[in-house]
Amino acid sequence: MAERRGKGAGEARSDPRGKSGMLRVKMVLLGSSGVGKSSLALRFSKDDFKDSAPTVGCAYLTQLVCLHDATLRFEIWDTAGQEKYHSVTPLYYRGAQAALIVYDISNRESFMRAQLWLKELEKQYVPGETVVGLVANKSDLSSSRQVSLQEGRSLAENKGLLFMETSAKSGNQVSELLLDIAHRVKLSSREDKGLAEWREADCVDMHREGRPRPLSSCCLTIGL
Amino acid sequence: MEKEHQEIEQPKAVRCCDLPSNCDANQTGSVEVPATISQDNPDAGELDCGIEDPFPCKGDDAAITSTNGLSEPQGAEGEGAPASALSDGTAGEADGLSKPEGAAADEDDPPENVSDSASTDNTLEDSNEFMVTVLARGGLEDQADGTPSALSEAGGPAQGPAPSHRDEDVTAESWRRHRKHVFVLSEAGKPIYSRYGNEEALSSTMGVMMALVSFVQSGDNTIRSIYSDEHTVVFVQQGPLVLVSVSCSRQSEQQLRSELLYVYRQIVSMLTQASITRIFERKKNYDLRRLLAGSEKILDGLLNLVDSDPSFLLSAVHCLPLASSLRDSLSQILQKAITPNLVFSILIAKNQLLTIVQEKTVIEDARLEPADLHLLLNLIGASSAFQAGEIWTPICLPLFNPDCYFYAYISYLDPPECTVCLLLLSTDKEAFYAVAECKRKIDEGMRTQNALRSIARAQSYSASQVGVSDLRHFMYKPFDVPDNHRQLTQFTSPEMEAPYSSEEERMRLLDLYRYLHSRIHSSSRPLKLIYHVAERETLLAWVTSKFELYTCFSPLVTKASAINAITKLLRWIKKEEDRLFIRNPPKYSTTPNPSKSSRGGKGGSDRQDTTDNGFLSLL
Ligand SMILES: Nc1nc2c(ncn2[C@@H]2O[C@H](COP(=O)(O)OP(=O)(O)OP(=O)(O)O)[C@@H](O)[C@H]2O)c(=O)[nH]1
Ligand SMILES: [Mg+2]
């Protein structure tokens, strides 16, 4: 696992730039259970592939990404796709600078759910603030493909998302995906450093004041 | 081989406390047991035929237990005659092992039996036949030919944790032959979980089960169990969920009931009781599988553990033997790494507890129950995903507070081997970074003390280390470790070694223990001491006010030498207890951070409520 610093919850929200000029990036992986989020995360962090059990709650891991002019420290929140965790997912995606919405090209249902996740995210973020990627995983299963490349790509174009077909199994396009995200995060952070912070504060308030509407609508819509 | 089975029912005249004072684990003097187990069974011919014997039943007799408002299972149906025989110290024990306690099917005398068994409270004689037939149609019972023995399967292939149980053909004979089925359904009769086979394919069977439950309910009654030749069917209703166990394992109704409660609690640990209730209040025929999707493995794993790990039977925690100095220093490392709202710090290796440190105020309010820890351990074991990184997940401890979530931080300290697991429980869902920082400190503490290496060397022990010939295995559960009244209940037990090295033999020994346990904890006729000569071993179980002890000896042991051995064993445990048990679980104080979650309620549960209001209202 990559080196970690970090000194408690306070720091997580404060200065996104570390002392060394390293940019801290919170990235969340969203999508139905079984689409390969944990497998992608394992590729990101260890360039490995193992058969994995469904995630419980959320797994946290870190990965450094070096660009030519900066180093980004990705804090990856690999959420559980199982429905019972949907009500907690906002806990994990709040304040994220990057979000990957993952579906499985061999599973149409997961593509539908990806769109619901996207709607959910849009409620929380003004588009453009957070780098959102649509990831079509399991590209190695093209023989049983249920979602065409074109379909995925046009959805992403409509919404202005980054799009990539990947295979966590073969490793195809996985590191490209991470690099692409890193570039975009870096760009957006240069334009506006503070956004993620106040957004997060906003969400916390919504939660605390007992107005869980956006969140509960999440479990309702996603669950249907 | 001669078979004999003797036991002493604690006679009214003998005060329970007489025994322990003689046989206190703390005492090194001789244990004067013999006088109390001298009641020999006069009729060896009719005695216990051992658990290996085929179940000698045919016919359709079944007994239905149903009680109204009784909180304890009666379990005594059909035992009328044998019970009275036994209380006279005569041959009643014959039935003991060959049938589950309370099994009514005594084929010599079926009619009497059925009426006997159904006559508990609200008499159900009229409906007995009906229900059994219904159940048979539902595909559960089809033993009319009575040919295959229930035990041909006991400990057999069904035991293996084969991964593809979900795909099993539920109409196949092999499906029916499983030793223990467990079903969970909603009050509306919707299938939620089946241990074997796809719940969907079983929806008609589950419908029949629910029909049974409601049929009895309509008579203002509660269905508790059904006995047939080979199977015991036990029903447990918890809120809107109905849990059913269909077992030919010959466990007592009480044991099966407590296993079903584990299943219920594991479900609660993932969803909380409050949200389950709320969901079904809103929509009676909600399909809970939506929320449990992906959790089948956790329930499967739990049921396999329940069958194979005596911790569940004993409701006690097994901790890894460790030099007390090492355990203390591990505790200190945990004790130093704290943050507000942290309530439990738990270190686990090889699925056994190394140490546990608790928040002071929490321990005053309520203690961590072994069952809650078992559920946590099962969750960790069932999910290999934990090895991937650091986990932050909501989790409910049903016995601590069934309606609230804790947030569990779970991480392995020794990647990539992943044998030493750290579990930190907080009441604050936002505390991930703070709690993760505690782990960093713990990592550091472990490194400076080279603790991981010492932990790696720690291992369970062998019964031979006790130095008592003929002693093959034992389980010892002290009730009260001095000065730690509110401590986690623990037990100690050596590795199961030859002749119990195969899965099957291990299960057989556990079945014997389960049988002894059921006699000791029988609600109708609890026993204090059982000397049980089985076919391939001799067992002695003994409960006092200070401990519960199960021992297994080679079949050659004599009663006198077994008792002598127990004296030595107790002495050995006394000598080793600092190593075998967590003796002084340390505490820490993490005053709740006032800016967060709560104004520091008295205990964890109060704090829980305030922390989780927003969260809970979501489901
Ligand atoms: N063929 C193929 N299989 C994959 C790929 N990625 C993941 N899988 C498999 O898909 C299954 C699910 O993968 P996970 O990574 O656990 O899925 P997840 O999205 O993390 O699921 P949850 O944690 O339940 O939300 C596993 O059996 C993986 O081995 C891929 O790119 N190709
Ligand atoms: Mg996952």
pLDDT at B588 (0 to 100): 85
Asked if A223 and B290 come within 8 Å (Cβ–Cβ), the reply is yes
H or E, element range at A23: strand A23-30
B389 to A53: CB separation less than 8 angstroms, yes or no: no
pLDDT class of A76 with cuts at 50, 70, 90: very high
Q: What is the dihedral of CA B213, B219, B225, B229, to 10 degrees?
A: -100
Name the β-bridge partners of B407: B394, B426
For chain B, how many structural domains are there in total? 3
Sequence-separated (6 or more) residues with CB below 8 Å from residue A214: A90, A120, A123, A124, A206
- Give the three-class secondary structure for B496: coil
> Does residue B325 have a pLDDT over 60?
yes
Q: Which helix (H) or strand (E) holds B506?
A: helix B503-520
Does the C-beta of A81 come closer than 6 Å to ligand 1? yes
- Going by pLDDT thresholds of 50, 70 and 90, the confidence category of residue B293 is confident
C-alpha angle B358-B361-B362 in degrees, rounded to nearest 5: 55
Strands (E), B456-604: 471-478, 490-491, 527-533, 538-543, 547-553, 587-588
pLDDT at B175: 76
| pLDDT (mean) for B296-310 | 93
Domain shared by B381 and B467, yes or no:
no
* Ligand 1 pocket member A106 (CB < 6 A): no
Q: Between these two residues, B205 and B61, which has the higher pLDDT value?
A: B205
State whether the beta carbon of A51 lies less than 6 angstroms from ligand 1: yes
Q: Convert the pLDDT of each residue in B427-437 to its tens digit.
A: 999 999 999 99
Ligand 1: which atom is nearest the Cα of residue A167? Answer: 31
Alpha helices (runs of H) in B219-369, residue ranges in sequence order: 253-271, 273-282, 289-292, 296-308, 310-314, 324-336, 360-365
Q: What CATH number corresponds to the domain at position B513?
A: 3.30.450
Which chain A residues are closer than 8 Å to B440 by Cβ? Answer: 4
10 Å Cβ neighbour count for B616?
19
- Asked if residue A220 has pLDDT above 50, the reply is no
More confident position, B393 or B89:
B393
pLDDT at residue A198 greater than cutoff 80: no
A54 and chain B: CB distance < 8 Å anywhere? yes
C-alpha to C-alpha distance for A27 and A95, rounded to whole angstroms: 9
The pLDDT of residue B295: 87
Task: Please say whether the dihedral angle defined by the alpha carbons of residues B104, B110, B113 and B115, taken in this order, is positive or negative.
Answer: positive
Instruction: With CB atoms and an 8 Å threshold, state whether A78 touches B432.
Output: no
| DSSP H or E segment with residue A158 | helix A149-159
Residues B283 and B432 in one domain: no
Peptide bond into A214 cis (omega under 30): no
Per-residue pLDDT band at A194 (split at 50, 70, 90) = very low
Could you tell me if A224 lies within 8 Å of chain B, comparing CB atoms? no
Q: Which residue of A has its CA nearest to B428?
A: A9
Cα of B366 from ligand 2 centre, angstroms = 34
Distance CA A66, CA A113 (A): 32
Nearest CB to A38 within list B388, B430, B434: B388
Inspect the interface and report whether the beta carbons of B614 and A57 lie closer than 8 Å.
Answer: no
Contacts of B501 (CB under 8 A, 6+ apart): none
Tens digits of per-residue pLDDT, B70-122?
A: 333 333 333 333 333 223 333 333 333 333 333 333 333 333 333 333 323 33
Contact B516, B476 (CB under 8 A): no
Asked whether A168 lines ligand 1 (CB < 6 A), one says yes
Distance CA B41, CA B5 (A): 7
- Residue A56 carries which DSSP code? P
What is the token pair recorded at A124?
Answer: 């929380």
> Are B389 and A41 in contact (CB < 8 Å)?
yes
CA angle A81, A85, A89 (to 5 degrees): 85
Q: Which of A35, A39, A93 for mutating ligand 1's site (highest number of atoms within 8 Å of CB)?
A: A39
| Residue of chain A whose Cα is closest to the Cα of B618 | A216
Q: Which residues of A touch B337 (CB under 8 A)?
A: none
pLDDT of residue B585: 74
Mean pLDDT, rounded, of chain B:
72
At B185, phi and psi to the nearest 5?
-140, 165
Give A138 Cα–ligand 2 centroid separation in angstroms.
14
The SS3 call for residue B336 is helix
pLDDT digits (tens, 9 = 90+) for B556-586: 999 999 999 999 999 999 999 999 998 877 7
- Verify that B421 and B515 share a domain, yes or no: no
Give the A window 68-127 contacts with B, CB below 8 Å.
78, 80-85, 87-88, 91-92
Q: Taking the CA atoms of chain B, what radius of gyration do you get in angstroms?
A: 25
Cβ of A219 within 8 Å of Cβ of B436? The answer is no
Cα A12 to Cα A95, B374, B433: the distances in Å are 10, 33, 7
Higher pLDDT, B405 or B73: B405
* CB of A43 shorter than 6 A to ligand 1: no
**What is the length of chain A?**
224
Which atom of ligand 1 sits closest to the CA of residue A42?
15
> Residue B488 — very low, low, confident or very high, per pLDDT cuts 50/70/90?
confident
Query: What is the pTM for the complete model shown?
Result: 0.75
B63 and B195 fall within a common domain: yes
Torsion of CA A214, A218, A219, A222, to 10 degrees: 160
Q: How many CB atoms lie within 10 A of CB B311?
A: 26
| Pairwise pLDDT comparison (A13 vs A72), residue with the higher score | A72
- Which is more confident, B366 or A96? A96
Q: Is the pLDDT of residue B426 over 70?
A: yes
Residue B406 pairs with which residues in a beta bridge? B395
With a CB cutoff of 8 Å and minimum separation 6, the contacts of B391 are A55, A56, A57, A58, A59, A60, B385, B408, B409, B410, B411
Min CA distance, B364 vs chain A (Å)?
A: 28
Residues of A in contact with B267 (CB under 8 A): none
Contact in structure between B505 and B485 (CB atoms under 8 Å):
no
Q: Which whole number is the average pLDDT over A157-162? A: 93
Name chain B contacts of A92, Cβ cutoff 8 Å: 392
Chosen domain end from B257, B291, B308: B308
Asked if residue B166 and residue B53 are part of one domain, the reply reads yes
Among A56, A78, A107, the strongest candidate for a mutation testing the B interface, having the largest count of B CBs within 10 A, is A56
In whole angstroms, give the CA distance from residue B288 to residue B252. Answer: 29
Q: Specify whether B230 is located in the same domain as B377.
A: no
| Chain A, chain B: beta-carbon pairs less than 8 Å apart | 118
Q: What is the pLDDT of residue A89?
A: 86
**Is the shortest distance between the CB of A169 and ligand 1 below 6 Å?**
yes
pLDDT at B365: 62
Cβ contact A6–B294 (<8 Å): no
Interface probe for A, chosen from B295, B396, B433 (most Cβ of A below 10 Å), is B433
Closest chain A C-alpha to B290 CA, distance in angstroms:
7
3-state secondary structure of B337: coil
pLDDT above 70: percentage of residues in chain B: 66
| ipTM for the whole complex | 0.79
Q: From CA B586, how far away is CA B584, in angstroms rounded?
A: 6
Query: Across B511-601, where does the E strand assignment appear?
Result: 527-533, 538-543, 547-553, 587-588
What is the Cα–Cα distance from B91 to B333, expressed in whole angstroms?
A: 57
Cα-Cα end-to-end distance for chain B: 61
Give mean pLDDT, residues B331-339. Answer: 95
What span, in angstroms and rounded, lies between the C-alpha atoms of B392 and B523? Answer: 42
Q: Residue B597: its chain A contacts at CB < 8 A? A: none
Angstrom CA distances, B241 to B201, B262, B360, B489, stand at 19, 13, 35, 29
Q: Is any ligand 1 atom within 6 A of the Cβ of residue A137?
A: yes
Superfamily of segment(s) A22-207: P-loop containing nucleotide triphosphate hydrolases (3.40.50.300)
Residue B436 with chain A: CB contacts under 8 Å: 4, 6, 60
- pLDDT at B314 exceeding the cut of 90: yes
Q: Are residues B567 and B552 located together in one domain of the fold?
A: yes
* Three-state DSSP string of B439-450: HHHHHHHHHHCC
pLDDT at B256 exceeding the cut of 90: yes
Residue written as tokens 């003097």?
B29
For residue B374, the number of C-alpha atoms closer than 13 Å in the C-beta half-sphere is 31
Domain of residue B439, residue span: 317-459+589-618
**Amino acid identity at B134:** V
Of all protein residues, whose CA lies closest to atom 12 belonging to ligand 1? Answer: A34
Q: What is the mean pLDDT of residues B524-533?
A: 94
Shared domain for B613 and B550, answered yes or no, is no
CA of A37 to the centre of ligand 1 (A): 6
**Residue B471 pLDDT more than 90?**
yes
Q: Check pocket membership of A34 for ligand 1, CB cut-off 6 A.
A: yes
Q: Are strands B4-9 and A58-66 parallel, antiparallel or unpaired?
A: unpaired
A56 versus B610: the higher-pLDDT residue is: A56
| B266 pLDDT higher than 90 | yes
Mean pLDDT of A22-47: 93
Do B27 and B132 have their domain in common? yes
The identity of residue B221, as a single letter, is N
> What single letter denotes the amino acid at residue B238?
Q
Measure A52 CA to ligand 1 centroid, in angstroms: 7
**Model confidence at B317, in pLDDT bands (50, 70, 90)?**
very high
For residues B426 and B512, state if they share a domain: no
**The pair of three-digit structure tokens given for residue B576, joined into one six-digit string:** 């080793």
Residue B65 shares a structural domain with residue B171 = yes
Chain A residues with CB under 8 Å of B613 CB are 210
Q: Whose CA is nearest to atom 2 of ligand 1?
A: A138
Q: According to the model, what pLDDT value does residue A187 have?
A: 87
Atom number of ligand 1 nearest to Cα A168: 31
The residue that leads in pLDDT, B372 or A214, is B372
Contact A58 B408 (CB under 8 A): no
Burial class (CB in 10 A: 0-12, 13-18, 19+), A88: buried
B385/A41 CB distance under 8 A = no
CATH number at residue B451: 3.30.450.30
Residue pair B521/B602 in contact by the 8 Å Cβ criterion = no
Helix H or strand E encompassing A71 = strand A71-79
User: Which residue of A52, A82, A219 is in closest CB contact with B388?
Assistant: A52
Question: B362 and B451 share a domain?
Answer: yes
Find the CB nearest B614 among A12, A92, A212. Answer: A212
Q: What is the predicted pLDDT for the residue at B481?
A: 55
Tell me how far apart the alpha carbons of residues B19 and B543 are, in angstroms, rounded to a whole number. Answer: 9
* Contact with chain B for residue A168, Cβ under 8 A: no
